[in-house]
Chains A and B, each alone.
Chain A
């Protein structure tokens, strides 16, 4: 008999991570020093793991607006937009955003995630959604909640998109949905080709500009402005939790569509509306975004500095053209160790592991704020270099040449940097761990198979021994010395191997399902 809770009590990953000290999530921040530095466990660390791109969450003007709104309207609206939860502030923000985004109408929703869930209301049974495989989870869920058919295309693969479009029923309603800036790899969608295909196949286009609004384009209106394709893009979504220093999301487009969503979407009408403080801070942030373009310029300068800084050391920052600067580590446990070492050295960054990325393509994701000082950034770079060398992610000496990064500055239409072979393979899931045998497999093997495996191992060892060259023997002789020199990193290495073993043998499924 199985119990719903079985999967929870059988879930080992958390316990392994906790036991090894490599658990990187739900870290408690005790204080913030101007957003660029925070305090964790009484220690001050540089924050390069937040999406506060313009650094406005610590801006006194934004803070003051939030306080004033709270004083005037209280702490919450206590209800849905549909009924008692609409303040003058909500309407003001929607009006200002529609104007800012050059669109007929805008709708603000309590969180960015819910904003994408709201899409479900317009995706009907006979519609087909074409969605990039690396789209954000909220889009995935929004589409899943709808009754529409989903067709996923390979990340930024326009040939694949075209193939899917051409195979689809020509009479069905179609929409192509893509992230503007992809949240983990930091590259930009191929909007020029997407809008071209949309025209050809009579499809609508929506971009999720969560990481692009306030960052891309001359005025900061996001991906469509950056490419000069605002008319061709039907719907734009954005969040307030990143550049807008608040919490919430916006969906903007033609009046009919937005009005329909406003009345039909369950994530709008069955959720309490944005709090007065959130609305007021988003409003103030919008004002600053419009008035201070130098923040965007500084942010992109920082992005370029960091990308090139990492690349010069031998790190791989992949395809990113944005202030999302992912650093390829590869192995998942090494990634945790890297994160842990960063944390101990005073840098807050985020490890990104499967399933958020493909196996063997674990990343340390860093992202920057316009308010980071050069001194802070240099410290981050130095820390990465030291740890990268220690963990063998980068070579002992800097490479003589590196490919400088291209940044998505206004007017350039740069979409992505050329991926290294390693990056491309990782992104396509070709670096997956080769595995080895799990205990479970061992249990299922007959004793003959087990013996076969052991004899194969002996065979391999004998072969290696028979092929030993004099120089190998010399190396062997110096092995104890090397081991002694590396004694500091041994526990980490053992940890890595051990964690791999446990992870292979860990299970997050229901045992009843397996047997």
Chain B
């Protein structure tokens, strides 16, 4: 007897939906707080997890405080099994992304889930349905909420804590998401670089030669002239990232908001602006890895009404030894002139001088070969990988 031919296994069977789990949109302040506090229970005992400040998350989700909500729309969902919270997700509509890329892509983000593919599917389906209702035809993520904030799912490099403003998640998330039929859209890389090792001699030679020939001067940002410096950086940033995959330019409000946030942790010596004949054409921003301090605070500034977290935060912020080079942007027309090498080199030297041990350069697109090669030539080692998934709706 001939067996009937198996149907082609193009799509593996989706996980069965659990009947005892309910996914509901978040309504009201109490549910919102539950949404914010869920990760704390999920990550309990994970030494690498950095708890965000509850209040910072609260402001982030507050349409009156987060400038993303001036154009974007977000719906939060919680999955509960009985009284117990077992997962959360955000569905995100970003009209600016649609307009700039000419697609009908929506996003999911703030995804956290117990190790149960059925729950993950319920969550992703809820977000998908919400996006579909709004006329979108595909879902990308995780994105919290856009490429200007943190995004991507950590798929490689779980053994060390994340750098400041980078995502972190348990290793099983990739399997959960893939089981729900999501596939890779793009990978992002993070590189590790030591500040104590001497930079390769070849790079130094080229950089210094270019510095001479093109008349490039590099200076640290002037915080006393904050507003104007922010404007200069904004211009370079939006022009440098214009054609990048997934990029949506900041609105002025968003950029100011971010600049204000960063002002509290920034070391001005590590924010460099490169000028050619007085015109700012490139910049790089390196931040002390505030996660070290955040971890000490454990999510709260106060305990039993006492500013314990605040004190711990202040103390720990003095012993930050790692950095994250968060952006490096060069204006169109000034690329391939060694500006990136000069900025890397100057950052590295300053970092060494200030006593930092090293840090991370992140993130870069997997197919941004120019940048990735430059980082590797500086001695950067790929340390972590993140993935953006997608699924048609």
Contacts and interface: CB of A to CB of B under 8 A. Distances in A.
Interface of A: 434, 451, 454-455, 458-460, 462-463, 466, 469
**From B302, B303, B304, residue with most partner A Cβ within 10 Å:** B302
B305 A454 contact: yes
Contacts of A466: 301, 310
Interface of B: 28-29, 53-56, 260, 300-305, 307, 310
Contact of A460 (B28, B55, B304, B307): B55
A458 B53 contact: no
B302 A459 contact: yes
Q: 3 closest A-B pairs (Cβ-Cβ)?
A: A463-B55, A458-B305, A462-B301
A463 B305 CA distance: 12
Contacts of A455: 302-305
Given A459-B54, A459-B55, A466-B310, A434 B29 contact: yes
Contacts of B260: 469
A483 B300 CA distance: 33
A459 B304 CA distance: 9
15 contacts: A434-B29, A455-B303, A455-B304, A455-B305, A459-B54, A459-B55, A459-B300, A459-B301, A462-B301, A462-B302, A462-B307, A463-B53, A463-B55, A466-B301, A466-B310
**From B300, B305, B307, B310, residue with most partner A Cβ within 10 Å:** B305
A455 B300 CA distance: 10
A466 B300 CA distance: 12
A149 B24 CA distance: 31
Contacts, number: 27
Contacts of A462: 301-302, 307, 310
A469 B28 CA distance: 29
Given A455-B303, A466-B301, 13 more contacts: A434-B28, A451-B304, A454-B305, A455-B302, A455-B304, A458-B305, A459-B55, A459-B300, A459-B301, A462-B301, A463-B55, A463-B301, A469-B260
Contacts of A458: 302, 305
B30 to A, nearest CB: 10
B68 to A, nearest CB: 18
A240 B28 CA distance: 45
Contacts of B304: 451, 455
A460 B36 CA distance: 14
**From A434, A460, A466, residue with most partner B Cβ within 10 Å:** A466
Contacts of A454: 305
**From A434, A455, A459, A462, residue with most partner B Cβ within 10 Å:** A459
Nearest to B303: A455
B302 to A, nearest CB: 5
Nearest to A461: B302
A277 B53 CA distance: 74
Nearest to B314: A466
Contacts of A460: 55
A104 B305 CA distance: 77
B326 to A, nearest CB: 21
A455 B302 CA distance: 8
Nearest to B260: A469
Nearest to B56: A463
Nearest to B28: A434
A455 B260 CA distance: 27
Contacts of B29: 434
A459 B302 CA distance: 6
B101 to A, nearest CB: 26
Nearest to A462: B301
A447 to B, nearest CB: 13
A384 to B, nearest CB: 28
B224 to A, nearest CB: 12
Contacts of B302: 455, 458-459, 462
Contacts of B310: 462, 466
Contacts of B305: 454-455, 458
A455 B54 CA distance: 13
A451 B305 CA distance: 9
A210 B301 CA distance: 61
Contacts of B300: 459
A466 B310 CA distance: 9
A408 B300 CA distance: 58
A397 B242 CA distance: 39
Contacts of A463: 53, 55-56, 301
A444 to B, nearest CB: 14
Nearest to B306: A458
A435 to B, nearest CB: 8
A459 B58 CA distance: 12
Contacts of B55: 459-460, 463
A16 B369 CA distance: 71
Contacts of B301: 459, 462-463, 466
A459 B260 CA distance: 21
Contacts of B54: 459
A454 B307 CA distance: 14
B362 to A, nearest CB: 26
A458 B310 CA distance: 12
A23 B303 CA distance: 45
A161 to B, nearest CB: 21
A469 B263 CA distance: 11
Contacts of B53: 463
A454 B304 CA distance: 9
A454 B260 CA distance: 29
A152 B46 CA distance: 52
Contacts of A434: 28-29
A458 B306 CA distance: 8
Nearest to B54: A459
A455 B307 CA distance: 11
B125 to A, nearest CB: 23
B26 to A, nearest CB: 14
A405 to B, nearest CB: 28
A459 B56 CA distance: 11
Nearest to B301: A462
Contacts of A469: 260
A342 to B, nearest CB: 30
A41 B359 CA distance: 78
Nearest to A464: B55
A175 to B, nearest CB: 33
Nearest to B299: A459
B115 to A, nearest CB: 29
B61 to A, nearest CB: 14
B71 to A, nearest CB: 14
A466 B56 CA distance: 11
A458 B54 CA distance: 13
B149 to A, nearest CB: 18
A463 B260 CA distance: 15
A16 to B, nearest CB: 25
A159 B300 CA distance: 49
A434 B305 CA distance: 25
A469 B301 CA distance: 18
Contacts of A459: 54-55, 300-302
A460 B57 CA distance: 12
B43 to A, nearest CB: 20
A145 to B, nearest CB: 35
A458 B305 CA distance: 6
A482 B379 CA distance: 58
A337 to B, nearest CB: 24
A23 to B, nearest CB: 31
A353 B20 CA distance: 40
B141 to A, nearest CB: 26
A305 B304 CA distance: 59
Contacts of B28: 434
B34 to A, nearest CB: 13
A504 B52 CA distance: 34
A458 B307 CA distance: 9
Nearest to B261: A467
A451 B55 CA distance: 18
A422 to B, nearest CB: 14
A434 B64 CA distance: 15
B309 to A, nearest CB: 8
A462 B300 CA distance: 10
